[in-house]
């Protein structure tokens, strides 16, 4: 005895399964297009100078910090948002009255933070200390940049950088151009 299928094609499983595969690709493509339209490209440096000028300026500032012998230890309390920066430099180095600590998220500019650090009581070793506070403590991985608050675009401005991933203490050393230590 031979059995005939009397159900129409649209009541079968396999045609809908075959149709669902390309349909899901179309839906995923439309969602990706919508997502691309809703977000901005935060990896682009917004400056009239251009990426090469900004990069060269940052490298020169790191080299100035290396030449001056400036180093820093950043203590961040993620629970309270307190930030304490201890700067070590040779005795004859004139340090600024306030510092700027920038935290830049690798992919989302909306998560970036800038903290103004004010002088505090020097450490027991006599090293200058600056203190500040987060509005809301960040979580995740960030590029950290320490520089004078009003950093001019001149040859005597310095900058220290590092990568922070939530640790309580981070040591910032100037990037050696031969070592490629700058992010």
My answer on whether 22 and 108 are in the same domain is no
Provide the residue range defining the domain that includes 155: 51-172
My answer on whether 34 and 105 are in the same domain is no
My answer on whether 167 and 123 are in the same domain is yes
**What's the rounded mean pLDDT across residues 61-90?**
87
91-107 pLDDT, tens per residue? Answer: 777 788 889 999 888 88
Residue 77: beta bridge partners? 82
169-181 pLDDT, tens per residue? Answer: 999 888 655 444 4
How many domains, in total, are found in the chain?
2
pLDDT at 44 over 90: no
12-40 pLDDT, tens per residue? Answer: 999 999 999 999 999 999 999 999 888 77
**What's the rounded mean pLDDT across residues 113-129?**
83
My answer on whether 56 and 32 are in the same domain is no
My answer on whether 73 and 110 are in the same domain is yes
4 to each of 12, 102, 153, 182, how far by Cα in Å?
Answer: 13, 73, 84, 73
- Cα separation of 163 and 154, whole Å? 25
- Cα separation of 142 and 36, whole Å? 23
| pLDDT interval class at 183 (50, 70, 90) | very low
CATH code of the domain covering residue 109: 2.60.40
86 backbone dihedrals φ, ψ, rounded to 5°: -105, 120
My answer on whether 100 and 159 are in the same domain is yes
User: What is residue 161's three-state secondary structure?
Assistant: strand
């Amino acid at each position: 005895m031979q059995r005939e299928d009397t159900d129409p094609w649209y009541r079968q499983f396999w045609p809908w399964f075959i149709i669902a595969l390309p349909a899901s690709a179309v839906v995923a493509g439309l969602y990706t297009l919508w997502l691309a339209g809703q977000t901005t490209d935060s990896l682009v440096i917004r400056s009239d100078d251009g990426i090469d000028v900004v990069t060269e300026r940052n490298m020169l500032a790191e080299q100035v910090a290396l030449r001056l012998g400036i180093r820093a230890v950043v203590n961040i309390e993620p629970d309270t948002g307190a930030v304490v920066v201890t700067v070590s430099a040779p005795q004859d180095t004139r340090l600024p009255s306030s510092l700027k600590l920038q935290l830049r998220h690798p992919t989302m500019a909306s998560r970036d933070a800038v903290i103004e650090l004010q002088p505090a009581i020097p450490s027991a070793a006599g090293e200058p200390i600056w203190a500040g506070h987060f509005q809301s403590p960040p979580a995740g991985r960030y590029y950290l940049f320490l520089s004078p608050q009003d950093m001019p675009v001149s040859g005597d401005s310095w900058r220290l950088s590092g990568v922070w991933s939530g640790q309580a203490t981070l040591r910032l050393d100037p990037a050696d151009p031969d070592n490629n230590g700058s992010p």
